[in-house]
Amino acid sequence: MAASRKPWLYRLSLPVRVGLAFAIIAMLLAVIGIIRGNVPANPLSIFLALLISGGSWGVVSWAVTTAVVDVERDIGDETAAGGAATDAERGGAVNDESRAANGR
């Protein structure tokens, strides 16, 4: 019995899938703009409109999703390692009122 393989889309990482989804949405919106006449009917202009819209939205959404995944992974590692981080690990000092409220 052969092991079933996941479809190619599910083998991609989450940031890549999100980037592709936003790139496709942006390219569809560019096509709507082309149909409405906002882009000259020149093939190079159409190509650049699709490339710029899909590329920029795809790259930006991929970068944001990658940052979110990394932060969530770091928080999960911190929680699994045994609890709260120190003030320095959180990236800043805690003011005196919050220290007093926390009993420090």
pLDDT digits (tens, 9 = 90+) for 42-91: 999 999 999 999 999 999 999 999 999 999 989 888 888 776 555 555 55
pTM score: 0.68
Q: For residue 97, give both structure tokens.
A: 């009122």
Q: For residue 70, give both structure tokens.
A: 């990394």
Q: Compute the distance between CA of residue 104 and CA of residue 84 in angstroms, rounded to an integer.
A: 14
Would 103 be classed as within a structural domain? no
CB 19 within 8 A of CB 61: yes
Q: What is the pLDDT at residue 40? A: 87
Would 79 be classed as within a structural domain? no
Q: Compute the distance between CA of residue 59 and CA of residue 56 in angstroms, rounded to an integer.
A: 5
Domain coverage including residue 64: 13-73
Q: In the chain, how many domains are there? A: 1
Would 42 be classed as within a structural domain? yes
Would 69 be classed as within a structural domain? yes
Would 85 be classed as within a structural domain? no
State which amino acid sits at residue 64: V
